[in-house]
Amino acid sequence: MTAVPTATRARLNAEFLAQLGRYDHVTRLPNRLHFIDHFDSFAQAERPTMLVLITLADAKHYNEILRALGMAFSEDFVRAGADLLAGLLPSETILYHVSVLSFIVALPVDDPDAFPAVATHIAAAFAGVIEVNAIPIKTQVGVGLLPVDARRGAAESLRAALVAAQDSRNDPSGIAFYNHKSDAAHLRAFRLLADLPAAMASSDQLSLHYQPRIDLQTGRCGGAEALLRWNHPLLGTISPAEFVPLAEQTALITPLTHWVMDHAMGQNRRFLDAGHPMRVSINASPVNLSEEGFDDALLRNCSQAGLSPHHVELEFTEGTLATNSKRAVQQLGNLRSAGVDVALDDFGSGYSNLSYIAHIPADVLKIDQSFVRPLQAAGDDDFLLCHIISIAQGLGFRVCAEGIETAHAYARLRDLGCEEGQGYFMARPMPADRLLDWLDARGTAGPYSLHN
């Protein structure tokens, strides 16, 4: 036997490893690098070519399979998906395995605006369950379509086809073309999340506005809700209703809420020093209350600002009680024992059911705007509102109505015995300096006071 020279062996090893790196180790199919190498040939093909990207399941569903049945089974699941797909493709078509759960094929088509028959077959074949080691598994397949365009390039084409596959989960056909508009929304969300850390670090992007909370019986302002504002250097004003839910999907919600607590408490100390003692309300996300030590951090923040816990209220939403509720309930209890008021925000907009309302760990129920804003003039239906207030009070909660926009709503809620309210009729959220002017100017009663 002739010995292979060392240099040749090293080169063969390198080639072998390079080839190995172009195949997926689970399915042995050509992988993403392989697809990228072949992309130019699709882009230069004479016939129009359609990319069909298939994702077998969303990440959450796949994690559930992993947790319940283990890693080896999960790999069998991916292999079973690959086999089923391969059987549905015309011969000679290469199936690429481009990420753990995603596969792509490039198909010549006659009409780049129509669903190719193969895509319809794939959606139909995966609509039910697939058998993996004799266990029926529900797939959540997504089928995304993107006509090949050389200008887009391989990596960007993969990304766009994946967006289409994700969008297809919201379409009854289970198939979706790449849609620039929905992608623009994804890209904006990504950009906002990428820019949020810099916003927290900068001194002029994030700020808090304060909306007065009024005692409806006396007309006095007993507190204010701190509401986040973001002035993005390039995108302008971004609503918290847009960026807070995004932050909640990531670890950024933790520092964001700490930023709010820190600034709101520091500001409340300044309100106090200016002769306006009040309770400042801070909004917490469900994630915050599921994190150990959130209660201690809030109380520490409060004492560092030189405030008593009675100067702070924490607002939480019904979602908090749905996720990891044991720790959340415990922390809300600890805060209440320490003297912090706790309010359930947007009551009536979520999972409310009558059996749980008695067990809400809160002092205050803030009735969602959707019950209050329709109250524009005498005769407007307030049946539900009356009964919600009466049940809440019967169970010992104080009630705060959100979204009071008219004199009629104000008077009606006061007459129904609702204790507190917030709304544009009395005051919009405003920067701290303006709130101080507003408080100084009005004394104890404001322009909205129906007694004036």
Q: Shortest approach of Mg ion to residue 45 CB, angstroms? A: 55
Question: Binding ligand C2E by CB under 6 A: which of 8, 19, 173, 239?
Answer: 239
Per CB under 6 A, contacts with ligand C2E among 333-392 are 345-346, 369
Question: Binding ligand C2E by CB under 6 A: which of 51, 122, 175, 227?
Answer: 227
Sign, CA dihedral 249-254-255-258, equals positive
Asked whether position 267 contacts ligand C2E by CB under 6 A, the answer is no
Question: Binding ligand C2E by CB under 6 A: which of 328, 429, 432, 436?
Answer: 429
Amino acid 407 reads A
Tell me the chain's radius of gyration from C-alpha atoms: 29
Which entry of ligand C2E, Mg ion, none binds 260, CB below 5 to 8 A by partner kind? ligand C2E
Per CB under 5 A, contacts with Mg ion among 330-349 are 345-346
Q: Shortest approach of ligand C2E to residue 347 CB, angstroms? A: 10
Q: Shortest approach of ligand C2E to residue 422 CB, angstroms? A: 5
Query: Could you tell me how many residues of this chain bind Mg ion (CB under 5 A)?
Result: 5
- Beta strand segments in 139-278, E: 142-147, 175-177, 206-215, 221-232, 236-238
In angstroms, rounded to a whole number, what is the distance separating the alpha carbons of residues 352 and 360?
10
Q: Shortest approach of ligand C2E to residue 332 CB, angstroms? A: 15
Name the residue nearer to ligand C2E (CB basis): 203 or 237: 237
Which residues are paired to 145 by β-bridges?
A: 52, 177
SS3 call for 200? helix
In angstroms, rounded to a whole number, what is the distance separating the alpha carbons of residues 395 and 386?
14
Asked whether position 283 contacts Mg ion by CB under 5 A, the answer is yes
Specify the stretch interacting with Mg ion by CB under 5 A; choose among 5-13, 165-173, 278-286, 380-388. 278-286
3-state DSSP helix/strand/coil percent for the chain, to nearest 5?
A: 45, 20, 35
Q: Shortest approach of ligand C2E to residue 233 CB, angstroms? A: 20
Q: Shortest approach of ligand C2E to residue 130 CB, angstroms? A: 40
Q: Shortest approach of Mg ion to residue 118 CB, angstroms? A: 48
Specify the stretch interacting with ligand C2E by CB under 6 A; choose among 12-20, 163-171, 195-203, 419-427. 419-427
Per CB under 6 A, contacts with ligand C2E among 128-167 are none
In angstroms, rounded to a whole number, what is the distance separating the alpha carbons of residues 141 and 123?
7
Task: Provide DSSP, 82-126.
Answer: HHHHHHHSPTTPPPEEEETTEEEEEEE-S-TTS--HHHHHHHHHT
CA 41 to chain centre: 39
Name the residue nearer to ligand C2E (CB basis): 167 or 345: 345
Asked whether position 240 contacts ligand C2E by CB under 6 A, the answer is yes
In angstroms, rounded to a whole number, what is the distance separating the alpha carbons of residues 55 and 132?
17
Specify the stretch interacting with ligand C2E by CB under 6 A; choose among 17-25, 171-179, 383-391, 402-410. 402-410
From residue 123, how far is each of 84, 85, 91, 111, 365 by CA, in Å? 11, 10, 19, 19, 46
In angstroms, rounded to a whole number, what is the distance separating the alpha carbons of residues 81 and 27?
10
Per CB under 5 A, contacts with Mg ion among 346-405 are 346, 402
Sign, CA dihedral 318-323-328-329, equals positive
Asked whether position 309 contacts ligand C2E by CB under 6 A, the answer is no
Q: Shortest approach of ligand C2E to residue 287 CB, angstroms? A: 9
In angstroms, rounded to a whole number, what is the distance separating the alpha carbons of residues 403 and 427?
10
Q: Shortest approach of Mg ion to residue 98 CB, angstroms? A: 43
From residue 283, how far is each of 13, 58, 244, 246, 315 by CA, in Å? 59, 31, 10, 15, 5
Which entry of ligand C2E, Mg ion, none binds 419, CB below 5 to 8 A by partner kind? none
Residues that bind ligand C2E (CB under 6 A): 211, 227-228, 239-241, 244, 260, 283, 285, 345-346, 369, 402-405, 422-424, 429
Residues that bind Mg ion (CB under 5 A): 283, 315, 345-346, 402
